[in-house]
Amino acid sequence: METTAIRVTVWGENVHERSHEEVRKVYPDGMHSVIAAGVRERLGDAVTVRTATLDQPEHGLTEDVLASTDVLTWWGHMAHEKVDDAIVARVHQRVLQGMGLIVLHSGHYAKIFRTLMGTTCSLRWREANDREVIWTVSPAHPIAEGLPPAFIIPQEEMYGEFFDVPQPDELVFISSFTGGEVFRTGCCYRRGWGRIFYFRPGHESYPTYYQQEVRQVIANSIRWAHNPTQSRQKPYSADNAPTGWYEAPGGAAGQK
């Protein structure tokens, strides 16, 4: 048992999987189970993985769970508005304190992602069995490790520009689709001590989260988003700074 394992919580809305037969066929135990299995498969002993879902008390994201989560992944779609604002605020605070957040597919409209971005996060979309090509545009980035210059997802929903998010701090992947549209598919952000990665693929009616390259990207992003610097796990704050504070004995070392 590795004590330094990254503690991952895979959050799933788990509504489509119970209400839509065609989704249940692809993800009989819920999308979160398959996403979690992919993380375990790719990262092995480097992680401990648990899942949480909307219908659990506090959506499975209690203070204790979040306090012991290094990286949270988020998939939601039809029930974004059912996520309690108090839980969103709690997740937001944890991101500022250093928890990594991986936002997947339709999670672009999740309250937590819109809160962190400060924009509408709207985009163009079409559900029409497009073929998606994912292009690596930052091959030296840790999230691109082991990924080819391009890979294909045979069937996906189309997401197209304009995607109303702030310019990403780092852009790792873009997508193109059968219809000709393009999209910024792998976007990195920093908020407070936290790192955020948005990754586009993962429409509920397609088996995207079984695909090896997709699993590799998610696993890489978890490693990238992990902030092991425990001493930094409190939010920034505004501190009064008397003249010379940084020259006092032990001064700068004791300050943020």
Footprint of Zn ion on this chain (CB under 5 A)? 106, 157, 203
Minimum Å gap between C-beta 239 and Zn ion is 44
How far is the C-alpha of 256 from the C-alpha of 3, rounded, in Å?
28
Minimum Å gap between C-beta 117 and Zn ion is 18
Token digits of residue 110: 């999740």
Residue with Cβ nearer Zn ion (6 or 110): 110
**Residue 50: phi, psi to the nearest 5?**
-130, 165
Residue with Cβ nearer Zn ion (70 or 204): 204
Minimum Å gap between C-beta 157 and Zn ion is 4
Minimum Å gap between C-beta 74 and Zn ion is 14
Token digits of residue 133: 């090509």
Minimum Å gap between C-beta 156 and Zn ion is 8
Q: Which residue is nearest to Zn ion (CB)?
A: 203
**Residue 219: phi, psi to the nearest 5?**
-60, -45
How far is the C-alpha of 241 from the C-alpha of 213, rounded, in Å?
49
Residue with Cβ nearer Zn ion (90 or 105): 105
Residue with Cβ nearer Zn ion (33 or 106): 106
Residue with Cβ nearer Zn ion (129 or 255): 129
Residue with Cβ nearer Zn ion (195 or 203): 203
Specify the residue for token string 């998010």. Answer: 165
Specify the residue for token string 């509408």. Answer: 120
- Secondary structure element (H or E) that encloses residue 184, with its range: strand 182-191
Minimum Å gap between C-beta 109 and Zn ion is 10
Minimal CA–CA distance to 158: which of 125, 197, 194?
Answer: 125
171: number of Cβ within 10 Å: 15
Instruction: Answer yes or no: are the C-beta atoms of 47 and 6 closer than 8 Å.
Output: yes
Q: Is the peptide bond before 199 cis (omega within 30 degrees of 0)?
A: no
Residue with Cβ nearer Zn ion (106 or 185): 106
Minimum Å gap between C-beta 204 and Zn ion is 6
How far is the C-alpha of 34 from the C-alpha of 46, rounded, in Å?
18
